[in-house]
Amino acid sequence: MAPTLLSKCPAVSIIMPVYNAENFLHASVGSILRQSNGNFELICFNDKSTDGSLGILNELAAAANMEGAERMRVIDSPVNVKQGGGRNRALRVARGEYVMFVDADDALREDAVERCLGVAKKEGADMVVFDYVRFTSSVCNPGERVCQLGDDAAGLRGEELRRRLMGRQTPVWSAMYRKALITDNNLFFPEKIFYEDNAVALAIQLSAVNPVKINDALYLYRFDNCSVTRSSNNYRFFDRLRSAVALMENLRRLGIYERYKDEIDFVFINQYYVHSIFGCIYRFDRVPMLRHRYICRTIERYVPDYRSNAAYRAQGAGMRFKIWTHARFPRLIKMLSEASRRVRGVRRGSR
């Protein structure tokens, strides 16, 4: 299908924050500009890149806008505000009824806009959730479909789908949203921190009146590119604590927390406590004990008696024991983990 002409107010605003992504922009921006349904605008926010990203964006925008339609806009920031700040600035100028988020090293399937708009129109959906493909730069890796919510979620609606979203959280970029879900609920991203998605993604998704899930992998997620959320020995890892607290505050402010208290408490326990104490052990060469102790000391400030949470207890005794040992004996667990890794290395070397 040939791309349609861009209307004055596009149906979808696609938002892409960019920081030092010169090696990926032709692929990521190209995947958007080749959409089968052209009723969109692409807003790229250059977050004070120090490489050639801005020049590439300007060249691509000039080519995309040759016919007079402003299909692609570039916002050049004089200061670095991280991904959250870039998304916020783009949201404030976005003209579309709906928004989608794309990271600068990822891509969209070329019928993503067409599929999402079609479902939104047919179902009256204010959020369309889709699957994604994990891929690497290697030509030997064709990619792997990830269906975070499960194929059966396509048949769920209303409360059932909301509870699935809480139980199996999905990235903020794996859906098209009615923009009002974000702007009317003041669910803008925290700025100048990492893990900014954690603060708002679930709140946006639970705010949807008519969410719909489709079994189509429309987003291409590159996972071999280095980032803070996958790096080691980076203390920005602990930005996740601020994001977890911000999520809880957003859900309380919107009156959502009381409706799903047990489920949301469990989400917080994982984001703030479980994943963070595990990260202290496995994401650092030396366990950052001050941060580890702080997390263990403050979890009950937010979720008193968290061990009694129904979902936490439903994990089973084995998982609860694992969490307890990682909280109680982090250095010992680190030492055992390192010893196990060395043994595995010796075994591989002797084959």
Nearest residue to 14 (alpha-carbon basis) of 75, 84, 71: 71
CB 337 within 8 A of CB 281: yes
Rounded-to-10 torsion of CA 46, 52, 56, 57: 0
pLDDT at 7: 52
109 has a pLDDT exceeding 90: yes
User: What percent of the chain is predicted at pLDDT more than 90?
Assistant: 88
CA distance 240 to 238: 5
Report the distance separating Cα 43 and Cα 72, nearest Å. Answer: 6
Identify the band that residue 138 occupies on the pLDDT scale cut at 50, 70 and 90: low
Please check the confidence at residue 12 and state whether its pLDDT lies above 60: yes
End-to-end CA distance of the chain: 53
Q: What is the pLDDT of residues 156-208, one digit of tens each?
A: 999 999 999 999 999 999 999 999 999 999 999 999 999 999 999 999 999 99
Give the model's confidence band at 228: pLDDT under 50 very low, under 70 low, under 90 confident, else very high: low
> Residue 68: exposed, middle, or buried by beta-carbon count in 10 A (0-12, 13-18, 19+)?
exposed
Rounded distance, CA 277 to CA 296, Å?
Answer: 8
Residues 268-316 pLDDT 10s: 999 999 999 999 999 999 999 999 999 999 999 999 999 999 999 999 9
pLDDT at 1: 40
Domains and CATH numbers, the chain: 12-230 (3.90.550.10), 235-349 (no CATH)
How much is the pLDDT for 350? 66
- Dump pLDDT digits (tens) for 47-94: 999 999 999 999 999 999 987 778 999 999 999 999 999 999 999 999
